[in-house]
């Protein structure tokens, strides 16, 4: 155990001492900073533009406009007249247009909200159903508040027999405010629309902002694989050098393989901790998902480390290793379905996904068959470690 | 100390060592000489238990090295031709690492040796920043960490200047004086002449000569026997006669 530990410590020291590896560590930092920025830009760019022509300009209509503006999914433009709003929809500068007619505020307070607002939409723009739903919710909000307040005042009068106008107004206001504070706009359904060339767009729950999951997970899996390759390159130089001959006079091949695997796994765990912390901070993982994500990513790290270490023992030059790194990383990332949805690629190419660890890691995190998949990944990692021990132990 | 009896080594159908037999006494320095491809490195690796012979016996200090390599490994220090230490680590880190693997905790003896071999001023320098001679010294020192009785050196002075070579030769003589048995492979006839008590001359996997330098002259044909260095430097030529 002491010798295995000495091998592990020495390997970490050597990997850290390498300038190339130190520079490579900038990559995950840049990646996380990049997706943070990208996520911010995506949120802004993915806001759905709508236009509101407020002909009522009452206190209630302005409250409705103000509430709609607070919705993080919508980019709201308010214009003075219907014609201008219609033009913006027709020229597709707005996904939908809403006309608040004169007297809307009064009608809402009178709980007469049916067909009160006119909507213009264009069939070529996605997610209008979701937009209508969100706007309608805000329009119904004062109406529902008003209905609640009226009902409460009626009950109070019935219960007390007599109530002054001031008391009625006071109660009405309190009930309105209470009802309004309970209002939380959520789409009733998740609406998914296919968009040409860019996969699936999900209209998010406005109360649960998240970073771009489309980059975070595949990026994490790809970077971990890249580091598995970068941290295994030494094996190619060392297995052909006399250092291993010297080492094998004092240690057994299994101690050598175990020590080096432990070192690479420890470094992968540090890298992983960075990704997990970022994911936790950016609310990508919630408390329930976190243990499963950590377990999956640790097993993924073990599998790729063992697999790449095994692969390195079959390669004879660093040039070939560079080519293999690029090929395996690109193919497995592209065809795993993590960067590009599987249904975007041909059926034949989709079969490749089943041979990529990224697919299984991603699937076990999102799917329901996590245990067999994780057990399979762990078993495959152990098999690779055992095969590497045999290969490393070949008498030179 | 070492006895080889009818040792052969084959890679597939190719015979690299053919029926080699000899005995080396404890405390002797034996030069292993021969042209490239003679099988010197293979012979040394077989004795160092790094590869098993295809047939024959290798007895080291009474134990069968081929049958039970683990039993004799603590007796053997092997110095490969290449610098088999980590270039990115310091002298100190390399010594500590290989000492840990050798199960050696007390480093005082090796530090004293570093002092004698004038490596102490470079103790905290990275190996890649050392001169060729000092790298070679460290390469030998690492093989001495577990205080082996038998030191096997495969061309340990390749690529260094004469002064450094002479320095290393004098250190090796000191080791032999301390009682260590040394098998020393080299192409440098002068160096071999300075260092060795006996010679083991090989060609194409066969043992041409084994014995003390006094007997070598009788064995080598004219005109290669006129000088000792010629005898060693032209093995390839006289062996073909």
Quote the CA–CA distance of B209 and B197 in Å, as a whole number.
14
Q: What's the complex ipTM?
A: 0.82
Cβ distance of B48 and A3 shorter than 8 Å: no
- Sorted by where each begins, the domain ranges of chain A are 2-40+210-392, 48-202
Asked whether the bond before B223 is cis by omega within 30 degrees of 0, the reply is yes
pLDDT at A351 over 60: yes
- Strand segments, DSSP code E, in chain A are 48-54, 74-79, 96-100, 118-121, 192-194, 200-202
Q: How many interface pairs between A and B have CB atoms less than 8 angstroms apart?
A: 58
Whether A184 and chain B come into contact, CB under 8 Å, resolves to: no
Q: Which two tokens stand for residue A10?
A: 């020495």
Neighbours of B57 (CB within 10 A): 15
Cβ distance of A248 and B48 shorter than 8 Å: no
Residues of B in CB contact (< 8 Å) with A are 45, 48-52, 73, 76, 78, 80-82, 84-86, 88-89, 93, 97-98, 100-103, 142-143, 146
Quote the CA–CA distance of A38 and B195 in Å, as a whole number.
70
pLDDT at B69 over 60: yes
In chain B, whose CA is at the least distance from the CA of A1? Answer: B101
- Sorted by where each begins, the domain ranges of chain B are 1-75+150-160+178-241, 83-147
Residue A115 gets the label, from left (phi > 0), alpha (psi -120 to 50) or beta, of left
Rg (CA), chain A: 30
Cβ distance of B73 and A250 shorter than 8 Å: yes
Summarize pLDDT for B7-63 with one digit per residue, the tens. Answer: 999 988 899 999 999 999 888 999 998 888 889 999 999 999 988 999 999 999 988
The shortest C-alpha distance from A305 to chain B (Å) reads: 23
In chain B, whose CA is at the least distance from the CA of A234? Answer: B86
Highest mean pLDDT among A8-12, A80-84, A93-97: A8-12
Cβ distance of B80 and A246 shorter than 8 Å: yes
**Residue A210: which pLDDT band, with cuts at 50, 70 and 90?**
very low
Cβ distance of A250 and B146 shorter than 8 Å: yes
Which residue in A3, A13, A245 is closest to B80 by CB distance? A245
Q: What is the pLDDT of residue B236?
A: 65
pLDDT at A368 over 80: no
CATH class of the B1-75+150-160+178-241 domain in this structure: alpha beta
Read off the pLDDT of each residue in A261-284 and give the average, rounded to a whole number: 87
pLDDT at B89 over 50: yes
Strands A48-54 and A74-79: parallel
Summarize pLDDT for B101-142 with one digit per residue, the tens. Answer: 988 888 888 889 899 898 999 999 999 999 999 999 999 999
Read off the pLDDT of each residue in A261-272 and give the average, rounded to a whole number: 92
Summarize pLDDT for B167-196 with one digit per residue, the tens. Answer: 899 999 999 898 899 999 988 888 888 888
Cβ distance of A6 and B80 shorter than 8 Å: no
User: Which residues in chain A have Cβ-Cβ distances shorter than 8 Å to B84?
Assistant: 241-243, 245-246
Q: Which two tokens stand for residue A89?
A: 């929809």
Q: What is the pLDDT of residue B53?
A: 92
CATH class of the A48-202 domain in this structure: alpha beta
Neighbours of B30 (CB within 10 A): 24
Quote the CA–CA distance of A143 and A157 in Å, as a whole number.
21
């Amino acid at each position: 155990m002491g010798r295995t530990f000495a091998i592990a410590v020495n390997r970490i020291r050597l990997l850290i001492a390498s300038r190339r590896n130190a520079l490579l560590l900038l990559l995950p930092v840049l990646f996380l900073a990049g997706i943070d920025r990208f996520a911010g830009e995506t949120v802004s760019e993915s806001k759905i533009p709508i236009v509101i022509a407020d002909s009522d300009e009452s206190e209630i209509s302005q409250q409705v406009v103000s509430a709609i503006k607070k919705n993080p999914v919508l980019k709201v433009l308010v214009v003075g007249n219907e014609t201008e709003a219609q033009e913006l929809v027709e020229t597709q500068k707005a996904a939908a247009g809403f006309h608040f007619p004169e007297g809307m505020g009064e009608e809402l307070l009178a709980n007469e909200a049916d067909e009160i607002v006119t909507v213009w939409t264009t069939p070529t723009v996605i997610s209008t159903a979701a937009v209508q739903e969100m706007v309608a919710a805000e329009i119904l909000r004062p109406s529902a508040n008003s209905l609640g307040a009226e009902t409460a005042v009626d009950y109070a009068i019935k219960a007390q027999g007599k109530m002054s106008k001031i008391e009625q107004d006071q109660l009405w206001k309190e009930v309105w405010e209470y009802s309004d504070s309970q209002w939380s706009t959520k789409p009733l359904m998740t609406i998914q629309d296919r968009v040409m060339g860019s996969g699936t767009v999900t209209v998010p729950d406005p109360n649960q902002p998240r970073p771009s999951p489309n980059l975070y997970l595949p990026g994490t899996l790809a970077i971990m694989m890249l580091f598995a390759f970068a941290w295994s390159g030494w094996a190619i130089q060392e297995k052909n050098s006399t250092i291993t001959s010297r080492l094998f006079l004092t240690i057994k091949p299994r101690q050598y393989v175990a020590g080096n695997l432990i070192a690479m796994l420890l470094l992968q765990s540090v890298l992983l901790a960075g990704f997990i912390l970022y994911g936790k901070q950016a609310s990508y993982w919630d408390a329930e998902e976190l243990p499963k994500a950590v377990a999956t990513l640790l097993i993924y790290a073990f599998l790729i480390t063992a697999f790449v270490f095994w692969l390195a023992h079959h390669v004879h030059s660093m040039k070939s290793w560079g080519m293999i790194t690029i090929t395996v990383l690109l193919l497995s990332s592209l065809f795993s379905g993590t960067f590009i949805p599987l249904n975007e690629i041909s059926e034949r190419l989709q079969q490749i996904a089943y041979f990529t660890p990224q697919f299984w890691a991603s699937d076990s995190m999102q799917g329901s068959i996590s245990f067999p998949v994780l057990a399979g990944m762990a078993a495959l990692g152990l098999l690779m470690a055992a095969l590497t021990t045999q290969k490393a132990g070949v008498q030179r | 100390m070492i006895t080889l009896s009818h040792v052969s080594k084959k890679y597939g159908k190719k015979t690299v060592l053919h029926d080699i037999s000899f005995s080396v006494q404890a405390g002797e320095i034996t030069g292993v000489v021969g042209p490239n491809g003679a099988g010197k490195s293979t012979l040394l690796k077989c004795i160092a238990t790094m590869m098993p012979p295809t047939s024959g016996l290798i007895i080291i200090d009474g134990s069968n090295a081929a049958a039970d390599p683990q039993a004799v490994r603590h007796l053997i220090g092997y110095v490969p031709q290449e610098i088999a230490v980590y270039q990115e680590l310091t002298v100190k880190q390399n010594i500590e690492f290989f000492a840990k693997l050798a199960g050696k905790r007390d480093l005082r003896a090796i530090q004293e040796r570093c002092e004698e071999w004038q490596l102490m001023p470079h103790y905290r320098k990275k190996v890649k920043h050392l001169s060729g001679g000092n790298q070679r010294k460290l390469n030998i020192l690492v093989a001495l960490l577990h205080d082996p009785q038998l030191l096997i050196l495969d061309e340990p002075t390749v690529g260094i200047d004469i002064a450094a070579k002479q320095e290393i030769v004098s250190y090796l003589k000191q080791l032999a004086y301390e009682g260590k048995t040394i098998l020393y492979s080299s192409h440098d006839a002068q160096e071999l002449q300075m260092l060795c008590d006996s010679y083991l001359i090989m060609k194409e996997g066969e043992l041409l000569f084994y014995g003390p330098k006094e007997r070598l002259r009788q064995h080598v044909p004219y005109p290669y026997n006129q000088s000792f260095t010629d005898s060693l430097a032209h093995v390839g030529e006289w062996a073909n006669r």
